[in-house]
């Protein structure tokens, strides 16, 4: 099996644990990614996934393995890439369905049509909002690193300019303005076949955690299970929506849980960052479940939660080189996504992940925090 994505460690290691021979094309090629694969190739640093020749570059890389793959599994960033010129099965939803949900503006219109709860989305970023605050974000990019909140008209102008300045490939048409909603970020992880979607876990999302990142809305990890209100309602909404959208395999739906109930934020038609915590909390192998979903075989809901599990992502506060001593000290903690020696993490880039399990959310959260703060101190030496 070949996995192609910007960060594939959790996917290929899940596949390896399930007994598949794994290969990867990945932006980082972390040590544990390589350890779970027969072979890996690193994405070119200059690759612009939005460029017209990106697919040709990736397809040439795939062919260079000289392996007859059982299937290709697209990961984050490559879900909608056209692999039709290759002879292997692609275990993903059809490209039209993927593109429809990846565009958050288009998705908002579909949610309104279905009568499902979601934040109000304005026609464009130059509209005058009915009320502040609002959120400015890319219509397609994920991870929250470009998201900006604006509390008045001046901040709105500054937020748009800040995003465009940070990512020159964006235009104003690539951005959207959304009602800002207070609440707890959560997600539902699903496995879907052509006939049915099954929710396998509800997860708390860690967003903009100060001891992990300087970015206010950056995705920082998950804790499974989510222990708040409306979990069952989110499962029911997610199963209905996933089936309605015709998505297949592993699917994630993000929510903000407000006092009035959950509101849908986005849909991810691929493996999600919560893969580690879902597997640790439930005992399911998500890669195997993804593969079997394309054969019409689905897990049975509800899955029993065996323990609480957490993953957090540590971002670099400044440019940081992972020298040998730093990596030795880092490995004394429960880490994943272990960088290569001398890897240079630029400011606000991900460095590594910490994984913990425990009896409850509080226990796991404190363990994640303690290890993360220790690793950050190591990185600053």
Closest CA to 77 of 91, 56, 57, 98: 98
| Residue 143, pLDDT score | 81
DSSP string of 58-77?
HHHHHHHT----SEEEE-TT
| Residue 315, pLDDT score | 97
Q: Give 10-residue mean pLDDT values along the chain (381 residues).
A: 97 98 97 98 90 93 98 94 95 92 94 95 93 95 89 96 92 95 97 97 97 96 96 97 97 97 96 98 98 97 94 96 93 96 93 97 98 94 75
Determine how many CB atoms are found less than 10 A away from the CB of residue 78: 23
Reported pTM? 0.95
| Residue 49, pLDDT score | 87
β-pairing verdict for 23-26 and 2-4:
parallel
β-pairing verdict for 23-26 and 39-42:
parallel
Phi, psi of 166 (to 5 degrees): -75, -35
| Residue 20, pLDDT score | 98
Residues 185, 208 contacting (CB under 8 angstroms): no
Domains of the chain: 2-92 (3.40.50.20), 120-179 (3.30.1490), 184-380 (3.30.470.20)
Residues 220, 289 contacting (CB under 8 angstroms): no
Chain centroid offset of residue 226 CA: 17
Count H helices and E strands in the chain, helices first.
11, 18
* DSSP structure class, residue 172: G
What is d(CA 37, CA 16) in angstroms, rounded to the nearest whole number? 7
Produce one character per residue of 81-94: b if its CB has 16 or more CB atoms within 10 Å, e if not.
Answer: bebeeeeeebbbbe
| Residue 63, pLDDT score | 98
What is d(CA 289, CA 278) in angstroms, rounded to the nearest whole number? 12
């Amino acid at each position: 099996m070949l996995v192609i994505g910007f960060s594939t460690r959790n996917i290929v290691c899940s596949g390896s644990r399930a007994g598949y021979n794994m290969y990867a094309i990945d932006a980082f090629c972390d040590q544990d990614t390589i350890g779970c694969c027969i072979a890996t190739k690193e994405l070119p640093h200059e690759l612009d996934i939005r460029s017209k020749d990106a697919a040709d570059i990736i397809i040439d890389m795939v062919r260079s393995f000289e392996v007859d793959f059982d299937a290709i599994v697209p990961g984050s960033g490559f879900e909608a890439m056209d692999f039709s010129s290759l002879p292997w099965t692609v275990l993903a939803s059809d490209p039209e369905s993927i593109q429809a949900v990846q565009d958050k503006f288009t998705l908002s219109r579909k949610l309104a049509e279905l009568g499902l709860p979601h934040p109000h989305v304005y026609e464009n970023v130059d509209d005058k909002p009915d009320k502040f605050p609002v959120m400015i974000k890319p219509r397609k990019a994920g991870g929250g690193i470009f998201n900006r909140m604006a509390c008045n008209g001046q901040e709105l102008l500054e937020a748009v300019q800040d995003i465009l300045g940070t990512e020159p490939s964006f235009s104003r048409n690539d951005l959207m303005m959304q009602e800002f909603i207070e609440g707890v970020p959560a997600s539902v992880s699903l496995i879907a076949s052509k006939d049915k979607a099954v929710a396998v876990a509800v997860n708390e999302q860690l967003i903009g955690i100060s001891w992990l990142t300087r970015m206010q809305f950056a995705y920082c990890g998950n804790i499974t299970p989510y222990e708040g209100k409306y979990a069952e309602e989110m499962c029911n909404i997610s199963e209905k929506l996933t089936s309605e959208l015709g998505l297949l395999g592993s699917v994630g739906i993000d929510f903000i849980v407000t006092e009035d109930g959950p509101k849908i934020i986005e849909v991810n038609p691929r493996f999600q960052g919560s893969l580690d915590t879902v597997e640790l909390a439930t005992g399911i192998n998500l890669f195997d479940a993804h593969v079997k979903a394309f054969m019409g075989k689905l897990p049975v809901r509800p899955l029993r939660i065996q323990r609480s599990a957490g993953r957090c992502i540590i971002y670099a506060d400044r440019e940081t080189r992972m020298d040998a001593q730093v990596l030795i000290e880092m490995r004394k903690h429960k880490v994943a996504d272990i960088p290569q020696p001398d890897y240079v993490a630029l400011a606000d880039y991900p460095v590594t992940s910490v994984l913990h399990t425990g009896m409850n959310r509080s226990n796991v959260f404190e363990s994640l925090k303690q290890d993360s703060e220790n690793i950050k101190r190591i990185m600053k030496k």
